[in-house]
Structure 1
C-alpha cells in the first residue's frame, strides 16, 4: 500500500487502506495476501511531476523504486503457485 501526502503523513492513509483491503478479502471469503511493506510518499508534489516522473530528491526516487521492486517480487512469487489446500 502507498500513502500519498503533500506534506508529512503518508503512513496513515496506507495503514487505513491495508485495513480496508484485508476486510474485503475476509468478508468475501477470498484467498489473497497483502504485502506488509508500506510506502509513505511525502511531499509528493515536490518529488513527482504531473506525469509521474521523478524530479525531486534522490532518496525519494531510490526508495520508491525499491518499494516497487519489492512489491513486484512478492507478486511474482504468487503467480501460478498451485493451491496448497485441496477442495
Structure 2
C-alpha cells in the first residue's frame, strides 16, 4: 500500500468571492462588527456571575459603541435604501 495523499483541486475563477464593491461595503461596516464583538465579549464575561461595577461600565461602553457604529452605518446608506 502506497503512502500517497490525494488532493482534489478546483480552479478559482475571477468571479469567485466578493467583488470590490462588496469588500468596500464590508470595510464600511467593520466598525460595527468590531463593536458588536466587543459587546458580545462583555456579555459573555458576566454570564456566570453578577456584573461588578467595572463589568457594568464595560457593558455600557460596549452598548454605546454599538449604537454609535449603527448610527454611522445608517448615515452611510444611500437615500434610496433608507426605509426599504
After TM superposition, the score normalised by the length of structure 1 is 0.42
Rg (Cα) greater in structure: 2
* More helix as a share of residues: 2
| Structure of higher RCO (CA pairs closer than 8 Å, 6+ residues apart) | 2
After TM superposition, the score normalised by the length of structure 2 is 0.43
